Amino acid sequence: MLLLRITTIEIDDSEKLKSSAMTNLTKRLLFVLWAVPLGWWVINSSFSVLPESMATIYPGQIAVIILIFISNFEYTRMLKIFYPRNAFWLSYLWLGIQFYGFFDNNLALPSNMSFFILFFLIALEAFIWGRRNQRKRWVRASLFFSGTAFLYVAAISLLNFYSEPFQLLFRSYSHPMLSQVGIVLVIGTVFVCDSAAYFIGSAWGKTHFSSISPKKTVEGSIGGLVASILVCSIGWFFLASPGYTRWLGIVLGLLIGVFAQIGDLLVSLMKRYFRVKDSSGLIPGHGGILDRFDSVFFSAPIISLFTWVISKIIVN
């Protein structure tokens, strides 16, 4: 009787897990149905949200800034778990100044000065608001600095996709909804990598990839990497500007496939450190912005580096 009861409980738990997984998958698919068309429109919209006399800011760039501010909110909220008495709002002030300077070159500070100001603000925050736990001030400041700096680097990399040298890599099309096929390709490759790793890992994954995230498998990781290379190389073949060799698409796909998964693992490590399942519950079935866009944020700088190397070393 005891064995039968244990078996029944195990079956019930298994059924609950399957039901929860199906519910989560349904939420993910419903999100994709409206998010993909909206994302396509936002990325490809070529009008400026401000008068040309002020600054040229595209809807896609506004979306980047919004996503970064929400991600910063999610990150500082996790920081508050350990440090409830704080002035983490200083990160919004610093990020806002950096974004303003990005669109107004007259007020843009050199990067060394910008990061010095960030370091000073964070040191001030740890000194004043971290007095009650002096031994953890350095940990507090390090976590605050690294999170803010990472989001800034990701944001600037994404914002620069709308300018040279990234724009020179891809063909230009007259159709208004095809004006940014290069951005669609690289971001789409990141999401394909994530999805392929998830579905292949769920279906055939048996070998655990990392203790950071027990659900991630070697099979899923390889599947995501292969999918990234295939999608990016095929897209590169049709969308890259004339003169760029085909193998560059393979290299770009390889870089995205590797760094997208590293970004996913790093955010998983961060969540384990703060002992939370998701950064927030903003996106049904996905968690928060950090959960959904972690791979995009971590891939963007390596894509920018790839673009810079191509523009400097390889002659078009």
pLDDT at 17 (0 to 100):
47
Torsion of CA 74, 80, 81, 83, to 10 degrees: 150
Tokens representing 298 are 């971590």
Question: Residue for token digits 């603000």?
Answer: 121
pTM above 0.75, yes or no: yes
Tokens representing 111 are 């990067």
Tokens representing 271 are 């969540």
| Mean local confidence (pLDDT), 235-244 | 93
Helices (H), 83-136: 90-103, 111-129
Tokens representing 122 are 């964070």
Lowest mean pLDDT among 5-14, 172-181, 302-311: 5-14
The rounded distance, in Å, linking the Cα atoms of 14 and 26 is: 18
Residues of the chain with pLDDT > 90, as a percent, come to: 63
Residue 165 near residue 241 (C-beta atoms within 8 A): no
The rounded distance, in Å, linking the Cα atoms of 298 and 111 is: 19
pLDDT at 4 (0 to 100):
46
pLDDT at 144 (0 to 100):
96
Residue 219 near residue 205 (C-beta atoms within 8 A): yes
Helix (H, G, I), strand (E, B) or coil at 118: helix
| Mean local confidence (pLDDT), 306-312 | 92
Neighbours of 3 (CB within 10 A): 7
CA atoms within 13 A on the CB side of 41: 5
The rounded distance, in Å, linking the Cα atoms of 42 and 65 is: 13
The rounded distance, in Å, linking the Cα atoms of 117 and 96 is: 13
pLDDT at 243 (0 to 100):
84
144 burial type by CB count under 10 A (0-12 exposed, 13-18 middle, 19+ buried): buried
Q: Residue 173 contacts by C-beta under 8 Å, 6 or more apart in sequence?
A: 179, 181
